[in-house]
Structure formats: C-alpha cells, structure tokens
A and B are shown apart, each in its own frame.
Chain A
Amino acid sequence: QVQLVQSGGEVKKPGASVRVSCRASGYTLIHYPISWVRQAPGQGLEWMGFIRDYNGNTDYAQNFQGRVTITTDTSTSTVHLDLRSLTSDDTAVYYCARGGIPPRYSGTWQFWGQGTLVTVSS
C-alpha cells in the first residue's frame, strides 16, 4: 500500500536551514507528483510547492521563492524539502502529499505523510 513516511521533528535557530524528508513506498516515486503543505500553529493549510512526476520540474509558491528547494532521490524513493533563512514564522508542521495523475490532479492529495514539526526558536 502507498505510504509516505517523513523524517522526525527539527529544532532550528533563526537564519538556519532545515531539510525535511519524505520516503515513499508502495509505488514508483517518479510516477506521481509530490507537494509540500504546511500548517503553522493556529493557522490554516498552506501549499509550498511541488515536484512534477513526468519531468521532475518544480513549482513553488511565491511566498517561498528563493528560500525553498524540492528534490527527489530516486535511489531511496525520497523527496526532500529544503527551507533556508528560517524565521519564527516558519514554525509549523510540514506535510508531504502525493498528487494524482493526469496533471489536473497534481494538486489532489489522497496520500499524506504523517507531518514533521519544525520549530524555529532562538
């Protein structure tokens, strides 16, 4: 069965970078797009970006342009989210989520990781 298992929680200082990983099993990673979505404390859901299935290209939300990178390691079936120049506003639970195919379903997420809490604090 399809599973997305994320790396553990992180505590970072302002200005640092963080990597959150999402290991996929039960299907071939590059056959489906993967998005990252976060939820800050007391806030709603926010889409950060995704990596496409068919060509590996990425798209990022404007709020994160220049600070975020999503990559895929096919050897370990893992997608990584790298976020730089952290501030306290980046304290949130980060989720990976698998989109569907064809492309009109890229943003429809039936499968999710369990979430990773990233805390940014001095």
Chain B
Amino acid sequence: DIQMTQSPSSLSASLGDRVTITCRASQTISNYLNWYQHKPGKAPHLVIDTASTLQSGVPSRFSGSGSGTEFSLTISSLQPEDFATYYCQQTYTIPYTFGQGTKLEIK
C-alpha cells in the first residue's frame, strides 16, 4: 500500500495567516492527489483534485501543488471557516490511502 505522510499533524494559526500543509507519498503517484477539508459532524469536502485543480465553489485562497511524491496545500489568508482538519489522499492505486490529517486550529 502507498503510505501518505502529512506534516504538520497540527497547526495553530491566526486569521489572515498564510499556511502550508505538506504531504509525502511513499512512492511516486504522479498527480493523483486530492485534498479534503473535514469539519466535526460533517462529511469531508473535496477541496483540490489532481494535486492542483481547485473544486468549483472553493475560494481561490486555496491552492495545491506538487507531483511525484511531494505535495502541498496552501491557504493564502486564513478565514474563520477554514479551521478544520485537512487530509491528503492518493488515487494512484487501490487501496486509496489518506494522510493522517492536519488539524488547523485558531491561535
């Protein structure tokens, strides 16, 4: 199975901050990488697919980059609704696997 490793596991930041979450795959996955936002009591929400494609309706302050084994999700200016847990997920091969999550909290 492909192992996905996110860093950091948790992140404390203030409104307006720029934050970056990284995700590393244990083998190359091309650009088969998605990012989900997950809030307590809600279903996960797809933010970015194929490493850098922003989903419709997702604010442009979100961006994704990377290919191969190294990926990142950047939020350019944190808003109150952005505080959540973020997961990367590879879709290169079955079983689909997730990173362990990055919990983004308000400082």
Question: Could you tell me which A residues sit within 8 Å of B by CB distance?
Answer: 35, 37, 44-47, 59, 61-62, 95, 97, 104-110, 112-115
Alpha-carbon distance A84/B38, docked complex (angstroms): 28
Majority secondary structure, A binding face: mixed
Do A45 and B32 touch across chains, with their CB atoms under 8 A apart?
Answer: no
Chain B residue, CB-CB nearest to A110: B46
Alpha-carbon distance A67/B1, docked complex (angstroms): 19
CB distance from A47 to the nearest CB of B (A): 4
Alpha-carbon distance A110/B45, docked complex (angstroms): 7
Question: What residues on B are CB-neighbors of A115 within 8 Å?
Answer: 43
Alpha-carbon distance A14/B55, docked complex (angstroms): 40
Question: What residues on B are CB-neighbors of A104 within 8 Å?
Answer: 32, 91
Let me know if B52 is at the binding interface, CB within 8 A.
no
